[in-house]
Amino acid sequence: MANIYSYRDANIRKTYLIFTVFLIVIIGLGFVFSQIYGNSLILVVAVIFSVVSSFVSYWYSDKISLAVSGAKPIEKEDAPELYRTVENLAITSGLPTPKIYIVPEAAPNAFATGRDPQHASIAVTAGLLQMMNKTELEGVIAHELSHVSNRDILVSSVVVVLVGTISLLANWLLNSFFWGGMENERDNGALGLVVGLVLAIVAPIVATIIQLAISRKRELLADASGALLTRYPEGLISALEKIEQTDLPLRRANSATAHLWLSDPYRGGKSVSLAQKLFMTHPPIDERIAALKKMEG
């Protein structure tokens, strides 16, 4: 079985691969439409847009995620048990202690963000602190620290911004069809318009499916890595069971940050069809629990 360090190294390589693939897709879209419209400036704009988006995703995605979720920074005296749990597990995993935030939400949930272990943050909801006992809280924090150690937070932050870039670019191109479609058809022919239209529709869908598949795999790896860190899978199992049984909505849920949370803020944890699973940010909770129970044996 691969260890936590091989997961980390694989995710670092995956980050560069994802950067490359999404940049190619964005530049490819720009090139196709520059040919259709006979305007090379479109390609230049696409390249500049993708580079700027990648820069923003690397340096500022953590601040954006924390602001969107309404997370508030805390000191040790504000939540001493939470602080001790994070510090102890960070020491055990060989990581710097991340900044700690609380989200004023009743729904039990948590997330980690930041581009590397030196700039990581962990946020937990007020509801999670109230609902979880010590071992369950340790299981949750170990899961989130595993995201930090495995470099998952960098991968997810980069992916969400680049997928958003592709969606924005495709939407802009689609709008250009509706506003200037007849002129384009006369200048470039119907075939070029059809190809461009298909690309503009399909590209963001494919990019989103790839993003969600990466997100689901990250969660399973973090579950396994977190259980290895605490040597007690039952803690996270019990926490996930409590979350599964809770119907409280996450009021600050946002589609751009849904993949960061411990559990999907929009969907329940029950089994779903294969088609539904393609568009889920997380594996169903019952599947995650089943995988963790195998580790107990």
Catalytic positions: 144
CB 168 within 8 Å of CB 29: no
Burial class (CB in 10 A: 0-12, 13-18, 19+), 58: middle
Token digits of residue 274: 């294969």
Note the Cα 38 to chain centre separation in Å. 37
> Tokens 């936590």 map to which residue?
4
- Name the strands in the sheet holding 110-113, side by side, starting at the edge strand that comes first in the sequence: 72-73, 99-103, 121-125, 110-113
Burial class (CB in 10 A: 0-12, 13-18, 19+), 193: middle
